[in-house]
Structures are given as structure tokens and as C-alpha cells.
Structure 1
Amino acid sequence: MAVLFLGLNANAARMDMVDVSNNNGYMSTAEYTSMRNEFGVKAVTVKISEGGTYKDPYAASNIANVQAAGMYINGYHFARYATKAQAIAEADFAGKTAKAAGLPVGAVLATDVESQEANNQSQATNDRNNAAFMKEIQKFGYRADIYTSGSWANNKMTIKGKTGWIAAYPYVVSGKNWYSTNHAWQWSSTAKFRISYGGFDVSQLNSNYYTAGQKSRVKPTNKGAVKANNRKANKHIYKKSASPKWIKETKTYKLKTSVKLHTSTSTSSNTIAIFPAGTTIKTDQAIIQGGYRWVRQPRFNGYGYLATGPTSNTLEYVKSGVTHTYYTVKSGDSWWTIAQRNGLSMTTLASQNGKSIYTTIYPGQRLVVR
């Protein structure tokens, strides 16, 4: 297999690939070009779909703009399946959605397996379901792979060598190439890019699988900036850390799936109750521990603890009772005119849409104004 990158710097993981979804909002060609030229990003993997009904509204624009920036493009589907039949149905839905969004034949369409549905299954069941999804997705002309967390790999599901995209965020630089036998290692979920707002998931590619097995035609124009920005990203991410600490999180959530309430922050601890989908809960604190993100629920006789999924996943819970008012951008609009019209500051308007006031907006784009 041809090696398309420099050897791992003992103090730096590379920003070879970025994955984006509706959480990142609209991403322009200029933003992707900046990622390529200033940070050395080669490939982008965009969210296509989730479960059997959700289509990412930004998938088509992300695919088109990544391609316009001259970068490799792939997609992923957030899996909700618990049975083989559901896996096949979700693969058909993801494949059709990807085709409609313009994901080119030959791209990777990975299954993102980190949901509570998968957590409730045995390793053998997850392996069977994942295999069914990947076999079905290939019928659409896409190459298959599995994304999951390091704590789930070869625990909740089998991830063989020379396959897999693994998420694991180390506290301290060790100088080793994590998950070097897998296709990709996602090493941060908070990377920053110069002209893009918010944090991004970034991965190091350990094979050419996500660059379509071709010799890279993506050449950054500012090699000095790439080196400096990668070093800066690692410095920000890799910090020595004591034991994980609880953070305040006073929120009300509505469960999307059934979830076990545990006596402690361990999946092997006793179960207090099993909350069905639709249950509303209130939490007061959250913590990353044991490969999971946990939230704490105050109870009349103490506390209960719920795992939201692997540390990279915060999608198992959605705020209840939250509605938004949207404004559709028209020709001639600007951050200032829209903000003034809705009684907001430009900064507030941009931030609640996951952007900065320097991000270009386009006619037809929908912005949250309430």
C-alpha cells in the first residue's frame, strides 16, 4: 500500500481528514480550501444520514464544496440499527441519500456505530449487523468501513487490522502512532481552523483508503503554515490531565432511545432503572470516564448515572421543548441587516448558527434567529 504522508512526528498527529455534519452548519469552498492549504487536510468525510429517516441538510453542499476545493470526499451514516434487517434498511436509505446528495461512486460511506442501540447488543450481534450494512452499501458503488470509539473496538464490535476508523483522544503525547493498523485515527474533536467557526473532528490517515487508493493530488500551498498549525493543534489538544473532573451541566433532556440508569459511572455497575424512549430527565453534572460520556441525574435518595455513548458521541440526548425560528437569506442580505431586523447583535446571530461574522452567507441559506 502506497504511503501518502510523512512519518508521524513524535510530538504531532496530522490533520489529514476532517469530518463535518449539520452541527457545523454551511461550510464554504473557501473554508475547505483554507483547511487544505494552511492545515494540510487531504480528505473530508461528511454526514449523509442517520437511522432510517434523517437526511443531513448540508450533505449536498458539503460534497460539492469539498470537491470544488480539490479534496477527497467521503460520507458516513450514523447507525441506529439493532437488527440485521434494520441494518440493511438503513444501508439502502443511506445509499440512496448519498446518491441524491452527489457522493461519487468509489467514495467511502462508513457506518458510524456508537449509539445506545449498539451498546445494548452483544459483540456478535453488532458484528452481524455491521457486516450486513457494509455488504448492502457496496451495492450502491461505495466502499465500506466502520467508525467507532477505541473503547468499543474489539469490545462492542470486531475491528480487524487494515480496516476501521477509530476515535480515541489521548491526554498526553506518547510519540506512538495510535491505531496505525487501522485506516484512520480520529484524535481530536475540538480542532480549530482559521476561517471556520467552532471545533472540528480531525483524523490522521494511516492508509490511503479514504483517499480512494490514489496518489494524492491535494498539495497544500503553504507548507510552513501546515507545519505550524498542526503543531499548534496538538499543543492545544494534548495536555497532561489528572483524573477526569465533573463539570456543571444543568439541563433537561428527552431520551431518543431507552437507556439504563446506573448506580455509578461504569457500564458494569448495577442498573437502577431502564428509561424508555421519550422519558424526560434532568441532569446536574457530566463527566468523560471509562470511554463514555456520563450525565448525572439527581434522585430523591442520591444520584443515578446515564452513559450517553462513547466519548465522541453526544447525540443520544436532545433538549426537550426547544423550537427555533428561521430566516431565509435573500440577495443583498448581510450579517448586519439580518441581525438588525431580528433585534440581535451580529456576533450572537453568527454564533447561534455555528459561524463567525466573517463567514460568507448565501441566498437560500436558513439561519436561526430565535
Structure 2
Amino acid sequence: MGKLKNKLALTGAASMAALFLGINANAARMDMVDVSNNNGYMSTAEYVSMRNEFGVKAVTVKISEGSTYKDPYAVSNIANVQAAGLYINGYHFARYATKTQAIAEADFAGKTAKADGLPIGAVLATDVESQEAYHNSKATNDENNQAFMQEIAKFGYRADIYTSGSWANNVMTVNGKTGWIAGYPYNPVGKNWYSSNHAWQWSSTAKFRISYGGFDVSQLNSTYYTADQKSNVKPTDPNAVKNIAKNANKTVNSAKWVSDSETYTLKTPVNLRTGASTSSSVSTTLPAGTTVKTDQAIIQGGYRWVRQPRFNGYGYLATGPASNSLSYIKTGVSHTYYTVKSGDSWWSIAQCNGLNMTALANQNGKTLYTTIYPGQRLVVC
């Protein structure tokens, strides 16, 4: 993302981006971090550390999901990000399948954002990566997203679309000079993916010195997520950022496929993807009780994946964390369950049971964006 500082002439949007970012093409930068309830409570000190040590300029916090879910940490995140002197934005995880639902979710998101203290003029992006969107036509998704963004503008917020690189301009349209696109290369050093879009999310596992867990980090190509203002924030140790970039996604392509000719019976619903990556499109969700015959397996991206031969190619299932042996989905295996209580989150349940949040969600056939409800039973062992 960006160009080397030199005497070459830069024009138009590229010139603006270069002036704003102090561009160094040698390493993907940690310009923006997004957080949600999955990260737990984030203190002002943590955001200050992100800014001073790693050069983080902006934070985008989850506000809402669907038409009912409000992120319980949005208020504290917004306040603490602002106290740390960082630009603040928000996002809504979209569940809409129709234009009417898109407008209703935008109204819900806009009202929730205002109540939570998201300042007018901030970006309130729609995060479009759900099953509902996948099963729509591109034209329908474009209409729905446009309706959402037009409605969001009525609340005084600036709109944008977040989605994966495999979905952009395939499942929905994301024009140049718009959009926040996720794509995780094996080595983001020296690369500039999605340079025509506002932002490129290049890792979901970045580590910060005083914060627990992995974080989604993005490089900014424009000033859109910093309120159209130039930011002079720079990391105190650029080499630390470069090292994170070099190692961020190395588990993705470092392993090899091995033979895994097995038959399994799913104990929970599992997403079947078009590739062995959480950023790959979901082709369908296999319900509990489905028999899955696999031919190969691989460890990458922090997960154990299996490949299922299908009539039109292959499907890929994440069966658990990298250390998982698939035992939790084999027929006849007993489990330990946890019953969700009011106020619980993926983070709090994982902490209580000594688990990784992503592993906990995955072994229950869900993602960290899936809303959990009191009374729901989750497999914890």
C-alpha cells in the first residue's frame, strides 16, 4: 500500500495518499485497527500504545449487527479511542437480504451509533460478508448496500463498504476510491493490495505489545477514515511494524496438504468455503448430522482445514484450531457444554474455559461475528 518516498511525481489520489501517509512501500502499515466485543474491554492506555508504538491513526469499532444486536463495548471503545487522540469510526455487521431490511438495519445502526457517542462525520461502514448476502445476486446486493449507505448518511455519518477481496466486484460492486477490502497475503511486505480503495485490511492476527489477542489491522490509502485530515502519527519503532507485517500471515501458505481420507459426522453446523481461508466465500452451511467425506487436510491460518470432493470441485471446512484433531466432530464423541448467560461474549466464555476465541467459535460452527444468546449451549471441550 503506497509508494517509496522519492522524487517521482505523484498525481491525484496517489499524491494525496502519499502526503497523508508518509508512504513506505517496504511494509504494510498498521494505520487502522478494528475492534468489537470479541476483543473485550480496551483501555485508553492500550489505544495510546497502538498510536505511539505502532503508528495507528484510526480505530473502527463495531456498533451493531442485524436489527437487534448492540455491541456492549462500543460506548467504552468510542470514548477511549477519542481519549487516546485517535480518529474514530464505526461499522455495522450486515444481515440484510432485502432493501427494506437494509434500510431498517441502517436506521438501527445510525440510532445506536448516536446513542453510543460516535461523532457526526465519522465513517459508519457496512460489513457485508454474511450468508444472506452470499445467496443474493450481485444486483440485489448492490441495491441493498446503496440503500443502507443512503440511509446512514441521513444520520450525518459517512458511508463505506467492508468486504473480502474475493467478494468485491463479484458478490457486490465496490468501486475504486471507495471501499475497505480484506485480503491476507502470505507476506504483506512490499505489496500494495487494493491501492485504489480507501483501506486494505491485510491481517486479522496482528499483535500489540500491551493488548491481548490478535487484531484486524488495515493500511489506509486515503484520508477517508481520518476525517479527511492528514495524520502525522508514525510508529516509534518502524522495524517492529515491519516484523509484524513479515510474520502476520505466514501460517497461511507455509503448510502442505496431507492425505486425510476420512468420513465424519458433523456435530454442529459448519461453513463450507470455496478455499481454505476464513476470507474465502461461504458456498453453503452444512447442518449438524451431515456426513462429510474428505480426502486431504492442511494446517494454515491458525486452523485445521479439510477438503471435501464435490461434484463441481472441492469444498473446504475449518474443523478447529491448528492443534485440533477433528475429534470433536467424530461420531460418538462426548462433549462438555457451556450455557450462555446474559452479558456473555465470545471473549468472556473463551477466557473462562481457557480457549482461543476463534477456536471456540469455530468448534461450534460459527464465526466471531455470530450473535450468541442466553440459554444457547456451546461446545467448550
Aligned equivalent of 1:361 = none
Is 1:241 the counterpart of 2:253? The answer is yes
For the Cα contact (< 8 Å) 1:25–1:353, is it kept in 2? no
Letter in 2 for 1:109: L
Shift of 1:323: 1.8
1:5 aligned to 21, 27, 40, which one? 21
For the Cα contact (< 8 Å) 1:294–1:306, is it kept in 2? no
Shift of 1:219: 3.2
Shift of 1:263: 11
- In the alignment, the residues of structure 1 paired with residue 74 and residue 103 of structure 2 have an alpha-carbon distance, to the nearest angstrom, of 21
Aligned equivalent of 2:163 = 148
Cα distance per residue 1:271-300 (max 9 Å; x no partner): 9x976xxx43579998799x9x9966999x
Aligned equivalent of 1:280 = 288
| 1:36-55 → structure 2 map (5 Å cutoff) | 36-55=51-70
Gaps spanning 5+ residues in structure 2: where?
A: 1-12, 278-282, 319-334, 345-349, 358-379
- In the alignment, the residues of structure 2 paired with residue 263 and residue 158 of structure 1 have an alpha-carbon distance, to the nearest angstrom, of 20
Shift of 1:252: 4.0
CA RMSD of aligned residues (A): 4.0
For the Cα contact (< 8 Å) 2:28–2:191, is it kept in 1? no
Shift of 1:351: 5.7
Identity %: 64
Letter in 2 for 1:96: K
Name the CA shift for 1:251/1:297 in 2 (closer, same or farther; >3 Å).
farther
- In the alignment, the residues of structure 1 paired with residue 256 and residue 208 of structure 2 have an alpha-carbon distance, to the nearest angstrom, of 27
Letter in 2 for 1:322: Y
- TM-score, structure 2 normalization: 0.69
Aligned equivalent of 1:366 = none
> Alignment partner of 2:246: what SS?
helix
Is 1:91 the counterpart of 2:106? The answer is yes
| 1:247-326 → structure 2 map (5 Å cutoff) | 252-254=267-269, 279-281=287-289, 305=315, 322-324=338-340
Shift of 1:224: 3.6
Is 1:212 the counterpart of 2:227? The answer is yes
Cα distance per residue 1:173-200 (max 9 Å; x no partner): 4723111110000000000000000000
1:130 aligned to 133, 145, 161, which one? 145
Gaps spanning 5+ residues in structure 1: where?
A: 309-318, 329-346, 355-369
- In the alignment, the residues of structure 2 paired with residue 87 and residue 59 of structure 1 have an alpha-carbon distance, to the nearest angstrom, of 21
- In the alignment, the residues of structure 1 paired with residue 343 and residue 148 of structure 2 have an alpha-carbon distance, to the nearest angstrom, of 38
Letter in 1 for 2:201: Q
Letter in 1 for 2:104: A
Aligned equivalent of 1:232 = 243
Shift of 1:253: 2.7
Aligned equivalent of 1:65 = 80
Letter in 1 for 2:20: L
- In the alignment, the residues of structure 2 paired with residue 112 and residue 327 of structure 1 have an alpha-carbon distance, to the nearest angstrom, of 23
- In the alignment, the residues of structure 1 paired with residue 53 and residue 265 of structure 2 have an alpha-carbon distance, to the nearest angstrom, of 38
Name the CA shift for 1:61/1:174 in 2 (closer, same or farther; >3 Å).
closer
For the Cα contact (< 8 Å) 1:283–1:298, is it kept in 2? no
- TM-score, structure 1 normalization: 0.71
- In the alignment, the residues of structure 2 paired with residue 175 and residue 78 of structure 1 have an alpha-carbon distance, to the nearest angstrom, of 31
| 1:98-117 → structure 2 map (5 Å cutoff) | 98-117=113-132
For the Cα contact (< 8 Å) 1:145–1:163, is it kept in 2? yes
Aligned equivalent of 2:217 = 202
- In the alignment, the residues of structure 2 paired with residue 200 and residue 119 of structure 1 have an alpha-carbon distance, to the nearest angstrom, of 25
Shift of 1:353: 9.2
- In the alignment, the residues of structure 2 paired with residue 141 and residue 166 of structure 1 have an alpha-carbon distance, to the nearest angstrom, of 23
